[in-house]
Amino acid sequence: MSEGAVIKWFKKEGEKIEKGEPVVEVLSDKVTYEVEAPASGIIRKIMAEEGDEVPVAETLAIITALDEELPEVEAITEPTVERVEERIVASPAAKRVAREHSVDLAQVKGTGPEGRIGEEDVRRFIEETKGARKVREAIPFTGIRKTAAERVSLSAKTAPHSTITMEVDVTNARKLREKFQVSYTDVLIKAVAEALTEYSIINSTLEKDQIKIFEDVNVGIAVATEAGLIVPVIRNADKKSLKEVASTLKELVEKARNGKLTKEELSDGTFTITNLGMFGVDVFTPIINPPETAILGVGRIVEKPVVVDKKVVVKPIMQLSLSFDHRVVDGAPAAQFLREVKEIIESSESLLV
């Protein structure tokens, strides 16, 4: 996240505020959240209007002590530091060869007059560093890739992940799919949404000393796009019919592929589904999409021999992998939730509601 939008101020200029009280609602790339007052006092000045997009770390408002006047704001200037740039003296030929071989001239020792780097020096360096990993291309680590990296790091660092897996018989889901022309993903979303209303502890977030259980069931779907992974959200999936889920998802995926998703369509997820089945993956350990509590990984569907009534029959089987935040729930409720998902998919009847 590099900038956020100011959605709503809860206080006006001149109003008193207590430390910890929500003062402003901010929308990031993926979620909205309330910013709490870092100190008690009076909101002296609001610097960003509702609707403004503001870079991260920019001042949004100034809180002063009750009897404190706002001092004249002085322009804060960065102390100017004399930067003596170390000029690399290299011949044009040395520079060309360095360019052709992606050699950083700063690494090369020049043997010419006054340490000038010649073509020979670069060639010797290339020869000496042969076998080391050569960099062919450097991709800037910015934008959606960086945001994704920050978020998975945050999740992996803060939420102790545990992953459980379960096999699901999709015979009925397949029928449903054919009959109503919906996808397995639609069925999964609907099943997950149903299960989340039952096991609402999974539909939650851990915030400091509270586990907040969400009222809404907003299911995010991880979509791989050319720009990177994004997660459009199907709001109130529990209240939508299977057909409605299907049409909403279709629209969102279309928008995702064209980069047309709005902030609203990417925000407020309470649970995420990620599918690697199309790549032949059976089981994996997905990383929770913060600040959610769990994520469901979907594997491929394979025709497998299974025993039914002491007879071996072939059935289409899908593997589900549920990663959950072990701080919020233990294995048992997570397993119950997953079993619920499994049962809903296997029966598939309740989905037609």
Partner 1 sequence: MREITYRDALREALREEMLQDETVFLLGEDVGRYWKGAFKVTKGLAEEFGDERVRDTPISESAIIGVATGAAITGMRPIAEIMFGDLSALAMDQIANQAAKLTYMFGGQTKVPLVIRMPFGAGVNVAAHHSQSLEAWFLHVPGLKIVMSSTSYDAKGLLKTAIRDDNPVMFFEHKLLYNIKEPVPEEEYTVPFGVADVKRKGEDVTIVATLYMVHKSLAAAEELSEEGISVEVVDPRTLVPLDKQAIINSVKKTGRIVIVTEDCKTGGVSAEIAAVVAEEAIDYLDAPVKRVAEPDTPIPFSPPLERFVIPDEKKIVGAVKEVIH
Establish whether 326 is a catalytic residue: yes
Q: How far is the CB of 136 from partner 1 (least distance, A)?
A: 21
Determine if 91 is a binding residue for partner 1 (CB under 8 A): yes
CB atoms within 10 A of CB 267: 20
Q: How far is CA 91 from CA 84, 113, 115, 123, 125, in A?
A: 21, 11, 11, 13, 15
Determine if 95 is a binding residue for partner 1 (CB under 8 A): yes
CA distance 263 to 266: 5
Determine if 93 is a binding residue for partner 1 (CB under 8 A): yes
Catalytically annotated residue among 101, 169, 268, 326: 326
Cα dihedral sign for 33, 38, 40, 46? negative
Q: Is 226 exposed, middle or buried (0-12, 13-18, 19+ CB in 10 A)?
A: exposed
Q: Which lies closer to partner 1 via its Cβ, residue 16 or residue 99?
A: 99
Q: Which lies closer to partner 1 via its Cβ, residue 110 or residue 286?
A: 110
Q: How far is the CB of 131 from partner 1 (least distance, A)?
A: 26
Q: Which of 112, 277, 316, 333 is in the footprint of partner 1 by CB under 8 A?
A: 112
> Which of 111-119, 163-171, 187-195, 246-254 is the region at the interface with partner 1 (rule: CB under 8 A)?
111-119
Sheet arrangement for strand 16-17:
16-17, 41-46, 61-64
By the 8 A CB rule, do 117 and 105 touch? yes
By the 8 A CB rule, do 322 and 295 touch? yes
CA distance 265 to 299: 25
Which residue do the tokens 């609707």 mark?
51
Q: Which of 25, 120, 198, 346 is in the footprint of partner 1 by CB under 8 A?
A: 120
Q: How far is the CB of 107 from partner 1 (least distance, A)?
A: 19
Q: Which lies closer to partner 1 via its Cβ, residue 79 or residue 113?
A: 113
Determine if 126 is a binding residue for partner 1 (CB under 8 A): no
Size of the site for partner 1 (CB under 8 A): 11
Compute the chain's Rg from CA coordinates.
27
CB atoms within 10 A of CB 285: 14
> Which of 87-95, 213-221, 314-322, 345-353 is the region at the interface with partner 1 (rule: CB under 8 A)?
87-95
> Which of 92-100, 167-175, 202-210, 294-302 is the region at the interface with partner 1 (rule: CB under 8 A)?
92-100
Q: Which of 8, 19, 96, 212 is in the footprint of partner 1 by CB under 8 A?
A: 96
Q: Which of 6, 31, 94, 266 is in the footprint of partner 1 by CB under 8 A?
A: 94
Residue 248's contacts (CB-CB under 8 Å, 6 or more residues apart) are: 234, 240
CA distance 235 to 245: 9
Determine if 343 is a binding residue for partner 1 (CB under 8 A): no
Q: Which lies closer to partner 1 via its Cβ, residue 52 or residue 120?
A: 120
Determine if 297 is a binding residue for partner 1 (CB under 8 A): no
Establish whether 330 is a catalytic residue: yes
Q: Which of 4, 118, 286, 297 is in the footprint of partner 1 by CB under 8 A?
A: 118
Determine if 101 is a binding residue for partner 1 (CB under 8 A): no
CA distance 148 to 274: 14
- Active-site amino acid positions: 326, 330
> By the criterion CB under 8 A, which residues form the site for partner 1?
91-96, 112-113, 118-120
